[in-house]
Chain A
Amino acid sequence: MSSRSDEAARPLVSGRDLGFVAGGRHLVSRASLDLRAGETTILIGPNGAGKSTLLRLLTGEAKPTAGVVTLEGAALASIPPWRLACQRAVMAQQARLAFPFSVLEVARLGVDGVGRALPRARREALIGGCLLAAGVLDLAARPYQTLSGGEQQRVQFARALCQLEAGRSLATRQALFLDEPIANLDLSHQLALLDMARMIAARGAAVLIVLHDINLALTYADRLVVMDAGEIVAQGAPAATLDDALLRRVFDVDLGLGRPPPQNLPFLLPQQHRQAAATP
């Protein structure tokens, strides 16, 4: 098992001094970040901090104007798309569909490319499992466009799971990128999706999630990364990374982090904000 731990120690995805300039604006600068197998990394930051851009750089969707992203030591730009697709799946923020695909067909898109070599029965089983895991199996025959925003988001999650599952037959070390995956979900589905993401990480994948909900980020992250104005301002274990000063500086809110007894996990109560606003 020593080799296994060696592997775990080496980062799967690694970004070094990443910078991205678009239209003369530095959307990301000097960002260095490692994603490790088995770890759930959660990226938080105010609107426009560059979270999604950083995610796009790490997935290879956008090429950094400075720095380099590597996957298992190889430069991302040198890896052909199909091989990349076996090793990482991405769920982007918004996914509109041009034509009336059914939920099943959307999920199948995740398998069609990566899992071409799999026998049909295995592929069907895999799609069914992923739809079930994302809680959308009952929607399988519905046209994707008739679904609510939350349902669509879960279908996209299922599609990303399908791709990861199909890719497992070709590459065991994988990464999953989720860009605000729970923005449209109700609370129970938010928790179910994040549970699922952690399970994927527990199975050995590196998971990166962009979140806005600081409580959920603190609850689910193995490692928390805070961005502001295109730069990574803090990263590390959640409890050690986020403190009142950082919150004030980055999110521009004057709130204290509570630390309740059970696990001594930090939490955030917006009620404080309203109280503070009420007292002059």
Chain B
Amino acid sequence: MTQAALARPGPAAALTVIAAGRRRYAMLVILGLIALCLALIFLGVGVGAVSIPPGRVAGILLARLTGGDAALDGREALVVLNIRLPRVLLGLLVGAGLAVSGALMQGLFRNPLADPGLVGVSAGAGLAAAATIVLGDRLLGGAAARLPFAVLPFGAFCGGLISTLLLYLIATRRGRTSVATMLLAGVALGALAGALTGLLAFISDDRQLRDLTFWSLGSLGGASWTKLAAVAPIILPLLFALPLLARGLNGLMLGEAEAFHLGVPVQRIKALAIVLVALAVGASVAAAGVIGFVGIVVPHLIRLALGPDHRLLLPLSALGGATLLVAADIVARLVVSPAELPLGIVTAAMGAPFFLWLLLRRAHVVEI
């Protein structure tokens, strides 16, 4: 064993062959996904209950971009610019945010079954939403209509953040956050929030109950530029922070101690990931209700296709989540047009069989 043994070209050549093969495959997957996402964006803006010829849609978008206003009058322009476009954009944002949050949580908790809800956001947001739906009228009365923001999304967002903060405080001792404690406390807090939500359902009337049900199934129906402007600054930081988190999460795959040895600022990564996820999921839930499934399945699909390296997994989860949600929303809008299905139903109904098929198709059991 000579000194040169640790850095000689021979073995590297063998690795380069492996790496090049993988890289080519990854490139194909990435390009395919980007193409699919773009196609769905155009489809999402192009189709809907109101039938507008593609040429007209393009004309409206072009007129908007170039500042020409001749084409911007009328209902068609409103449908394209104020209904479909914000809706597709919100779908991209929420889908990306949820999928990335799922991937981050799975990495942080080193558990492939972790989902964004684990940091308590969903439970807290759900409880707060239920409270606003059931008690809002009683507590706020007519004041609700005069507030400068919609009470329900704001309440859901705050509820999500508060419960995450609570979990974080419970799980942190002397500056160290135990993800295991967080996981367990999350289960307990989730049960508590579930009980309180149940209590609220008990005292609600049947209209409020239906509101609750619809909210818990999610929808992009309320998308608007205002909502988009409110949500984007909260979800985008998560997406921009991915390069900062990817390497650290890879290190965390070996365990927290090992990650520390590799030079990962473990506590900072944990805190950053948890805060960003709580914000992003809180905003998603507030804007579009509860949309399950995306956060757990998209990262898995990416992992099945390209492996668990977070430097690929995180950005591709964002892309995949955005794609899935926009696709699901198109289906939700068209399938019972002019009414629309709740989005959560579609994401699960579309994603779950596909996921099962992927699992069945594999020759051997998935190692996790």
Contact = CB atoms under 8 A, between A and B. Distances in A.
Contacts of B111: 98
Q: 4 closest Cβ contacts across the A-B interface?
A: A85-B263, A128-B11, A98-B110, A99-B308
A101 B368 CA distance: 10
Contact of A165 (B7, B11, B303): B7
B255 interface: yes
B22 to A, nearest CB: 9
A141 interface: yes
A196 B3 CA distance: 10
Contact of B1 (A81, A105, A141, A196): A196
Contacts of A92: 255, 257-258, 261
Contacts of A29: none
B247 A112 contact: yes
Given A81-B264, A114-B262, A124-B12, 16 more contacts: A56-B257, A81-B266, A85-B263, A97-B253, A99-B308, A100-B308, A100-B366, A121-B12, A124-B15, A128-B11, A128-B12, A128-B14, A129-B7, A137-B11, A143-B367, A165-B7
6 contacts: A59-B261, A82-B263, A98-B110, A99-B107, A128-B15, A145-B367
Interface string A135-149: 001001101011000
A175 to B, nearest CB: 11
Interface of B: 1, 3-16, 18-19, 106-107, 110-112, 247, 250-251, 253-255, 257-258, 260-266, 303, 307-309, 366-368
A117 to B, nearest CB: 13
B149 to A, nearest CB: 40
B21 to A, nearest CB: 9
B253 A101 contact: yes
A110 B247 CA distance: 11
A81 B260 contact: yes
B15 A127 contact: yes
B253 A99 contact: yes
Contact of B8 (A90, A95, A121, A128): A128
A121 B16 CA distance: 9
Interface in A70-117: 80-86, 88-90, 92, 95-102, 104-106, 109-110, 112-114
Contacts of B308: 99-101, 105
B179 to A, nearest CB: 11
A132 interface: yes
A131 B7 CA distance: 10
Contact of B12 (A82, A109, A125): A125
Nearest to A60: B260
A110 B9 CA distance: 18
Contacts of B266: 81
The winner among B10, B13, B14 for most chain A CB atoms within 10 A is B14
Given A109-B251, A126-B7, A140-B14, A99 B262 contact: no
A165 B7 CA distance: 8
A86 B368 contact: no
Contacts of B107: 98-99
Contact of B261 (A89, A125, A131, A132): A89
Nearest to B265: A81
A140 B247 CA distance: 20
A199 interface: yes
Given A104-B15, A127-B15, A195-B1, A98 B112 contact: yes
A100 B18 contact: no
Given A109-B254, A146-B367, A124 B5 contact: no
A61 interface: yes
B307 A113 contact: no
A168 B61 CA distance: 56
A122 B8 CA distance: 9
A106 B255 CA distance: 12
A5 B350 CA distance: 69
B7 A163 contact: no
A125 B9 contact: yes
A121 B11 CA distance: 12
Given A90-B258, A112-B250, A125-B12, A104 B265 contact: no
A96 B3 CA distance: 30
Nearest to A85: B263
A80 B265 contact: yes
B262 A109 contact: yes
Contacts of B16: 124
A127 B13 CA distance: 11
Given A98-B111, A141-B18, A133 B257 contact: no
A98 B253 contact: yes
B307 A129 contact: no
Contacts of A109: 250-251, 253-254, 262
A182 interface: no
Given A112-B250, A165-B7, A82 B265 contact: yes
A273 interface: no
Nearest to A87: B263
Given A128-B15, A145-B367, A97 B263 contact: no
A95 B11 contact: no
A128 B261 contact: no
A13 B266 CA distance: 23
Nearest to A160: B261
A98 B106 CA distance: 9
